[in-house]
């Protein structure tokens, strides 16, 4: 068995090998000679800052001594948060999750460290170290699981946001797991959490869930808005927590989402009622730049969504205005084309001229270029799979089989990547329906694609 020298022994060996005095080494690493001497002789403990200076001076990787540091300076000494916390932050920064796990495991035996570990998790999350943050949140949540605490709810909220990605099955599981904790959050944080939950169910096309959380968002936003107006009326100094967006914007967004849920259920009349609700924000009296910006956004969205609901009801006459509206708004082109094709397929409209007009954009969607704009990449990916399937249906029905199969296969591939099984199955059924029009090469490509999908499933 290999005997690994202590940190102190290895530093001492280095000094002898390089013929360096402690004074000379101290000057190199910006530590005074007394500190270096105390560390080498074992008369004083080593801080992680001092360890990093020593490691740098020896031209070693910054985390070279970290495992031994745990053995010698943490496990063998009484737990000291002032010494341990800087080490945890360095483990996070350097991606040493193995060392992080070892030290956190020691701290979890004493619940007194849970609030401190939560702060490290929050700092790690804000700095973008999501893997380390997730590990810390999971452990804090486990330690708090029998407490009806806001800290536990925040942990679960952060874990929800970290877990959301391109896999639709995992997104659904993450949303369901987080649902019970929303009410435990601070009232202002609840608005963001409900918005995020609703948006997740929106991308999953779970219309009942979307309706449920969108309504809760609107109700809570209205309460907070009224409270805010009372404080202003009484000229009270307001030091309370501020929301990310104006409170009326959350209320308006709830109606926009509820309109979309109604559209998903083909209840276009009710969808219009929700659209009319957020189109009139004349009751919002503030005139600051942010308020005016959001009022204008919702007025614009109300216009386009009014066109949309009339179109999905079968009113073809709104198409010119709808197309004119989206032409100058790049972030609206993909969802609008998706809606136009859905209506065209349902009511047998001919929209060839519109497809020709946006041919360049459609090709860019097919080539999987990132779509910039108001929508999250997750929502855009889901929208693209729906759009490509609607376009495939339109083209196949018109006898444009080569193009139709191209978009069908793109939808199938994207659906498989996102673990969207329902959409993948719909693609397979559509191919079966038009299979007789597929060339031998097209059937071979389909076979390889299905093989890849099945391998992913396994």
Q: What CA–CA distance (Å, rounded) separates 37 from 388?
A: 70
DSSP-based helix, strand, coil % in the chain, nearest 5: 75, 0, 25
* Closest-CA residue to 122 (of 112, 132, 107, 113): 132
Q: Which residue has the tokens 């999350």?
A: 125
Residue 180, both tokens: 């019970």
CB atoms within 10 A of CB 15: 17
Residue 251, both tokens: 């209320």
* Closest-CA residue to 7 (of 34, 43, 46): 46
Secondary structure class of 46 (helix, strand, coil):
coil
What's the pLDDT score for residue 232? 75
* C-alpha distance across the termini of the chain, in Å: 41
Secondary structure class of 311 (helix, strand, coil):
helix
> How far is the CA of 302 from the CAs of 77, 225, 326, 428, in angstroms?
64, 21, 13, 36
pLDDT digits (tens, 9 = 90+) for 327-356: 988 888 888 999 999 999 999 999 999 999
> How far is the CA of 311 from the CAs of 272, 341, 388, in angstroms?
12, 10, 19
What's the pLDDT score for residue 458? 53
With both helix axes pointing from N to C terminus, report the angle between 359-366 and 377-397 in degrees, rounded to the nearest 10. Answer: 120
What's the pLDDT score for residue 238? 59
* Closest-CA residue to 397 (of 412, 408, 411): 408
CB 381 within 8 A of CB 414: yes
Per-residue pLDDT of the chain (458 residues; tens, 9 = 90+): 456 789 999 999 999 999 999 999 999 999 988 888 888 887 778 899 999 999 999 999 999 999 999 998 898 888 889 989 999 999 999 999 999 999 999 999 898 999 999 999 999 999 999 999 999 999 999 998 877 789 999 999 999 999 998 888 999 999 999 999 999 999 999 999 999 999 999 999 999 999 999 999 999 999 999 998 888 766 555 567 889 999 999 999 999 999 999 999 999 999 999 999 999 999 998 899 999 999 999 999 999 999 999 999 999 999 999 999 989 888 888 889 999 999 999 999 999 999 999 999 888 887 764 444 434 555 567 888 899 999 999 999 999 999 999 999 999 988 888 888 888 899 999 999 999 999 999 999 999 888 877 766 55
């Amino acid at each position: 068995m290999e005997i690994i020298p202590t940190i102190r022994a290895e530093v001492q060996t280095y000094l002898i090998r390089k013929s360096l005095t402690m004074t000379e080494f101290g000057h190199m690493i910006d530590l005074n000679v007394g500190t270096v001497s105390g560390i080498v002789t074992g008369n004083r403990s080593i801080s992680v800052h001092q360890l990093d200076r020593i490691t740098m001076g020896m031209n070693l990787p910054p985390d070279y001594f970290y495992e031994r540091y745990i053995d010698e300076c943490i496990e063998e000494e009484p737990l000291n948060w002032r010494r341990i916390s800087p080490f945890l932050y360095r483990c996070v920064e350097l991606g040493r999750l193995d060392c992080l796990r070892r030290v956190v495991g020691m701290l979890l035996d004493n619940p007194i460290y849970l609030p401190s570990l939560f702060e490290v998790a929050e700092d790690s999350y804000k700095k973008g170290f999501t893997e380390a943050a997730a590990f810390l949140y999971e452990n804090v949540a486990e330690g708090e699981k029998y407490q009806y605490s806001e800290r536990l709810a925040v942990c679960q909220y952060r874990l929800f946001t970290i877990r959301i990605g391109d896999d639709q099955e995992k997104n659904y599981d993450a949303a369901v797991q987080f649902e019970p904790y929303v009410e435990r959050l601070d009232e202002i944080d609840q608005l963001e959490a409900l918005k995020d939950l609703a948006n997740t169910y929106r991308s999953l096309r779970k219309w009942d869930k979307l309706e449920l959380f969108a309504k809760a968002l609107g109700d809570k936003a209205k309460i907070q808005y009224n409270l805010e107006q009372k404080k202003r009326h009484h000229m009270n100094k307001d030091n309370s927590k501020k929301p990310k967006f104006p409170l009326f914007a959350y209320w308006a967004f709830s109606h926009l989402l509820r309109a979309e849920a109604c559209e998903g259920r083909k209840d276009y009349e009710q969808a219009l009622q929700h659209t009319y609700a957020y189109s009139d924000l004349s009751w919002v009296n503030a005139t600051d730049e942010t308020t005016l910006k959001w009022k204008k956004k919702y007025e614009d969205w109300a216009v386009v969504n009014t066109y949309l609901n009339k179109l999905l009801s079968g009113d073809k006459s709104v198409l010119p205005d709808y197309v004119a509206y989206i032409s100058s708004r790049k972030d609206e082109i993909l969802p609008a084309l998706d809606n136009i094709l859905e209506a065209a397929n349902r009511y047998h409209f001919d929209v060839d001229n519109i497809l020709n007009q946006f041919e360049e954009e459609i090709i860019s969607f097919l080539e999987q270029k990132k779509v910039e704009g108001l929508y999250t990449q997750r929502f855009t990916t889901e929208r693209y799979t729906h759009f490509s399937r609607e376009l495939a249906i339109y083209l196949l029905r018109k006898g444009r089989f080569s193009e139709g199969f191209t978009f069908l296969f793109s939808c199938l591939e994207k659906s498989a990547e996102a673990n969207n099984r329902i959409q993948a199955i719909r693609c397979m059924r559509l191919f079966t329906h038009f299979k007789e029009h597929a060339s031998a090469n097209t059937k071979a490509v389909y076979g390889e694609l299905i093989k890849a999908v099945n391998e992913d499933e396994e």
